[in-house]
Structure 1
Amino acid sequence: MTASHDSAQTVVFLHGIGVGPESWDAQVAALPEGFTGIAPRLAGLRDGEPSFSVERASTAVLALLDEQGVERAHLCGLSLGAVVATRVAIDHPDRVASVLLSSGQVHPNPVLMKLQNAIIRLLPTRLAAPEGMNKTTMLSILRSLATLDLRPELGQITAPTLVLCGAKDAPNLAAARTLAAGIQNAELQIVPGAGHEWNTRLPTEFSTRLNTFLETISS
C-alpha cells in the first residue's frame, strides 16, 4: 500500500464523534487526479483501546503516516477530527502540507463542558453516547476537550489552512473565526445552508471546496 502514495499527494481525513471513516467516502472518491485519500478511525474511540486524548489521537495520525511511508500529508478534519488535525499541524509542521478544518474547536466553554459531563454521567449508555460508542469513551472525550485551549499555539501552524463552518453550526462559528484569526494566512469560509456534519449531508459542496483548496495550493 505504501507504493500507492509514491506518486500521489495524500489527504488524511479525520472524522467526528459518532461517525467513522466511512463518513468521508464521498470526499475520498471525489479527490482530484494526483491525490489519494486515507480515512483512519481516530484512536481511542473503540472498546478496549486506551482512553481518548487529543494528544494520543494525533500521535496515532503520525504513526499512520510513518506506516504508509508518507512524508507530508494534507489533513482534512471535521469536529473532533478537526481538533486532532489542529494538534498535528501545531506539533509537526514539517509533516503537514495543508490543513482543512471544519466545525472545529479551540477552547470549549468550560462551564458547558462540565454541565455536559454531569449530564452524560447520569444518562444510560444508549442516550449518553452515539451508536457504537460506550459511555466511558464519551466521558474520556469530554475530559480531553474540557482542558483544551489551542489558542496560544495557533500561530505555530505554518501550512496553508482553510477553515470551514456551516452557517447553521452556531456552536462552532466563534471557534471557526478564532482558528482563522490565529493561523497565519488562513482562509475562513462560512458555508450557507450547512450544519455540523455537512460533509455527509452536502457531500458535493464539501468536495468542491476541499478540491478547489487542494488544487489552488498545489498549482
Structure 2
Amino acid sequence: MNYIDMGQGETLVFVHGFSSNKESWTCQFDLAENYRLIIPELRGHGKSVVFENISIQQFAKDVLDLLDELNIDKAHFCGLSLGGIIVQEIYKQQPHRVSSLILSNTFSQISNVFNILFTFYFKYRLKKYTKMDGDEIISKAVKRIIYNNKNEDLLENAKSALTYNEKGFANTLVSLPKGFSYLNMLSTLPVPILILGSKNDKLAPVRYAKQSYRNANKSKAELHIFDKAGHLPNIEHKEEYNQKLLEFLQSVC
C-alpha cells in the first residue's frame, strides 16, 4: 500500500474518497506540526496496482493492516466522501483502535434505491467519458464538485487530488454495498465525532451530514457546515477546515 507518514504526536489517519489519492490531503500537511499523519492510498486508487477484492470492508481492513505494520495501536480517523464510509467501517471492525472520528462530506446510511441510481449515473458518465483521456475526465469532474469553479488555482489543486483509473473506478463502483447504515452505531458511539458538510455539495448533499448528526450520540458529536463550498472543503476552504480539525482534536486529545 502506498502511503504518506509525516509529523509527530498522536496519530491522525486521513482516508481519501472515490477516484482520489493520497495527495488529496496535501492542504492538511500543516497539521503534521502537531500530529503524526498517516495517509494511505486505497487499493484501485492513485498509483495502486491492486484491483482485486475491492469492498468497503477490505478498504477498512487495509488501513488497519497498515497501522499494524507501523505499530500504531490507536488513532484519530478523518475520512472524506468514500473515506468517511470507510472510517465508520473501521470503527465497526475494531472500535478499540479509534480515538475519535471525523466524517467529512459523507454518508452514514445509503438505501438500496439511492445506490442503484448512484451506480447507474456513474456508469452512464463512465461510458460518456470513454473517448476522453484521463486529464479531460478529471477536469470535467472537478468543475462539477467544486463550488467556485472559476478559480483556476483552486481547480488545479482539486485536480491533483483526483486520479482517473478506469479499472479501479469500475471495480470500486460495483463493489459499493447495495445499502448500509451506521446510524445505530453512531447513536451509541462512545468516542468524540466531528461531522462536516458543505452547503453546496452536490455529491454528498448537506442533508446527509445533518442526518448523521441527528442520529449521533449528542454528548460526543459536533456538526460544522461550510458555506460556499462543494464536495472538497478541505481544499476549497483549507484554512477553515484545518482550524476546525485542530480545535476538535485539541478538545479530545
In the alignment, residue 28 of structure 2 is paired with which amino acid?
Q
Q: 1:207 to 1:104 in 2, by over 3 A?
A: same
Is the contact made by 1:154 and 1:182 (CA closer than 8 Å) also made in structure 2?
yes
How far does residue 19 in structure 1 lie from its aligned partner after superposition? 1.9
Which residue of the partner structure matches residue 211 of structure 1?
246
Q: Which TM-score applies when normalising by structure 1?
A: 0.85
Which residue of the partner structure matches residue 22 of structure 2?
21
Q: What does residue range 1-219 of structure 1 map to in structure 2 within 5 Å?
A: 8-33=9-34, 35-45=35-45, 46-122=48-124, 123-124=126-127, 126=129, 131-134=163-166, 137-169=169-201, 171-184=204-217, 185-218=220-253
The residue matched to 1:55 in structure 2 has which SS? helix
Deviation sequence 1:102-146 (CA, Å, 0-9, x none): 011122243242133234445437459864221564353354243
The residue matched to 1:57 in structure 2 has which SS? helix
Deviation sequence 1:21-72 (CA, Å, 0-9, x none): 1111121223453x11111112343444214211001111111111111111
Q: Which TM-score applies when normalising by structure 2?
A: 0.74
Q: 1:207 to 1:10 in 2, by over 3 A?
A: same
**Mind listing any 5+ residue stretches in structure 1 that lack a counterpart?**
none
Is the contact made by 2:14 and 2:40 (CA closer than 8 Å) also made in structure 1?
yes
Separation (CA, whole Å) in 2 of partners of 1:70 and 1:141: 30
Separation (CA, whole Å) in 2 of partners of 1:136 and 1:215: 36
Separation (CA, whole Å) in 2 of partners of 1:189 and 1:119: 29
Separation (CA, whole Å) in 2 of partners of 1:186 and 1:99: 10
In the alignment, residue 12 of structure 2 is paired with which amino acid?
V
Deviation sequence 1:130-164 (CA, Å, 0-9, x none): 64221564353354243222223323532111001
In the alignment, residue 116 of structure 2 is paired with which amino acid?
K
Q: 1:19 to 1:181 in 2, by over 3 A?
A: same
RMSD value over aligned CA atoms? Answer: 2.7
The residue matched to 1:169 in structure 2 has which SS? coil
Q: 1:148 to 1:135 in 2, by over 3 A?
A: farther
In the alignment, residue 127 of structure 2 is paired with which amino acid?
P
The residue matched to 2:176 in structure 1 has which SS? helix
How far does residue 6 in structure 1 lie from its aligned partner after superposition? 11
Is the contact made by 1:105 and 1:172 (CA closer than 8 Å) also made in structure 2?
no
Is the contact made by 1:73 and 1:96 (CA closer than 8 Å) also made in structure 2?
yes
Size of the aligned set, in residue pairs, is 214
Point out the more displaced range, 180-189 or 13-22: 180-189
Point out the more displaced range, 70-79 or 122-131: 122-131
Separation (CA, whole Å) in 1 of partners of 2:7 and 2:224: 32
Is the contact made by 1:168 and 1:192 (CA closer than 8 Å) also made in structure 2?
yes
Separation (CA, whole Å) in 2 of partners of 1:84 and 1:140: 13
Separation (CA, whole Å) in 2 of partners of 1:217 and 1:136: 36
How far does residue 91 in structure 1 lie from its aligned partner after superposition? 2.5
